[in-house]
Amino acid sequence: MNYPHLKKLFFTTTFAFLFLFPVFTRAQHVWKPMDPKTTTQKFSTLLFLIDNFYMDTVNMQQLTEKAIIATLKDLDPHSAYISKKNVKSAEEPLVGSFEGIGINFQLFKDTILVIAPVPGGPSDKAGLRAGDKIIKVNGNKAFGPQITNDWVMKHLRGKKGTKVMVSIYRKGAEGLANYTIVRDVIPLKSLDAAFMLNKTTGYIKLNRFARNSTAEFNQAIDSLKKQGLKNLVFDLRGNSGGYLSTAREIADEFLAPKKLIVYTEGYHSPRQNLYSTEAGHFKKGKLIILIDEGSASASEIVSGALQDWDRALLIGRRSFGKGLVQRQFRLPDGSVVRLTVARYHTPSGRWIQRPYNQGVEAYYHDLQKRMKHGELIHPDSIHFPDSLKFYTASGRIVYGGGGIMPDIFIPWDSSRYDKLYSELIRKGTFNTFVNEYLNNNRKKLQKKYPHFKSFMANFEITPALFNIFLKDTRQAKVTLKPDVLQRNTNFYKLQIKALIARDLFDQNAYFEVLSPMDHAIQKALEVMKNKTAFKEMNIKTQ
């Protein structure tokens, strides 16, 4: 199985721009200056010799970049080099914005299909709708095998204030309609969903710790409070991290003042302690955090701090295990290096970084190793040495050295997320079916279900509709095994309903539709209803 959420860990890292200083030494070490003759002069001399005496022409810039990449690989898995041309796109997810026309899209049969315009964005203001197909961009053909995600980014993104003309095909309309769109700044949301699971329990899912995440989180909390929020399920599954400062702010939302959230320390960086404050939107109430093998870095700072202070009960599987802090340095040509400058520790003193002495490749294949050992299915396969034992504020035992272990384990559902499901996703079977269905039924559905609540309560994937999906699946040459299909029919139907909801309403609707069959969410609701669960584990609720 592939785990796309783990690939983000190469680029999404925890930074400490505000809290770390460049050159200090720890008392127990003696700092020695670098000898230029054996380092910088030696390397620059080599480059000079290659450039002037090597038998063939050499791309010196490329050679230098390869040397930098190889050097950083030898340090740790999270120090990284980003070339000048990739800096902007690498920073976008954390900065929280880009400049373009503002659409969510997918490539459907070599055509750019508008899933939804960003509300209030340039495309929304211009009149683009979900289901529109972009046939031309500035008069040039925008369909066919040459159309890739990179092509779309290159032609539709651009500086704020610049114009682009798109020619749209809309079902039911004659010919193509031309729209001139003025590009603008488009916000990237880090909060996937926020809704009420029942009358008193809310749910928030955060996909990264970006610059605007705290504001998004607070807005969501305020909205849920108006709907009766008393308890919260905070979903950090698959969240690979982000800014250290944002992690501190999010943890501060839950903790009483003057509580240590995290401390960082490195050879050239003296210990820095980050504490909670008086601020915070959810200091009281039952709190459950969902984590899994894709929860890393800033996610582990938050979940580790709240576990150490017995403020939250953690449900899920052991987290990724990243306890290193990166700081970004700009190089002379505009490229950047994200260099690991410190380790971070949870309040109890845990350093949760997993070993990386076997090399970068082995480090990022650790998930396959965990699966092979049965860790994602059976928690008993996980063993921590006593030397890594630590204690929470109430005396509960927790461990360092390889991620955050949840208080309640939820196994990976291998029967549901099996080879068949992976093939359906890989071949785009769900999306293809939903796109065709909405292409023919969008107006009728919008009229029948003007609000999400009515859709959630009343819309069903009928047997006849599901049979059409199965027919399409067979045409896509997907082998349907009767036993697997029978076991997962309800799950597949829910996937289809969720995708339709996302298209008709928003991303929030997608997660809300799926929540009744999400084992971790349902376990969280079960624990919330248990009057003694939080007391038995000494979890504070006020």
Structural contact between residues 523 and 315, judged by C-beta atoms closer than 8 angstroms: yes
The catalytic residues are 297, 322, 326
Bridge partners of residue 205, in order along the sequence: 193, 235
How far, CA to CA in Å, does 40 sit from each of 47, 127, 284? 11, 57, 55
Structural contact between residues 180 and 270, judged by C-beta atoms closer than 8 angstroms: no
* CA within 13 Å, CB half, 333: 12
| Whole-angstrom distance, CA of residue 520 vs CA of residue 412 | 10
Bridge partners of residue 260, in order along the sequence: 275
Q: Which value, in Å, is the radius of gyration of the alpha carbons in the chain?
A: 25
Tokens for 404?
A: 């955050």
Bridge partners of residue 116, in order along the sequence: 104
Residue 215 backbone dihedrals phi, psi, to 5 degrees: -65, -40
Bridge partners of residue 39, in order along the sequence: none
Q: Is 196 exposed, middle or buried (0-12, 13-18, 19+ CB in 10 A)?
A: middle
Q: Are strands 313-316 and 287-291 parallel, antiparallel or unpaired?
A: parallel
Closest CA to 288 of 339, 211, 236, 222: 236
Closest CA to 349 of 320, 378, 308: 308
How far, CA to CA in Å, does 78 sit from each of 43, 74, 405, 452? 24, 10, 22, 42
Maximum pairwise Cα distance, the chain: 78
Secondary structure class of 500 (helix, strand, coil): helix
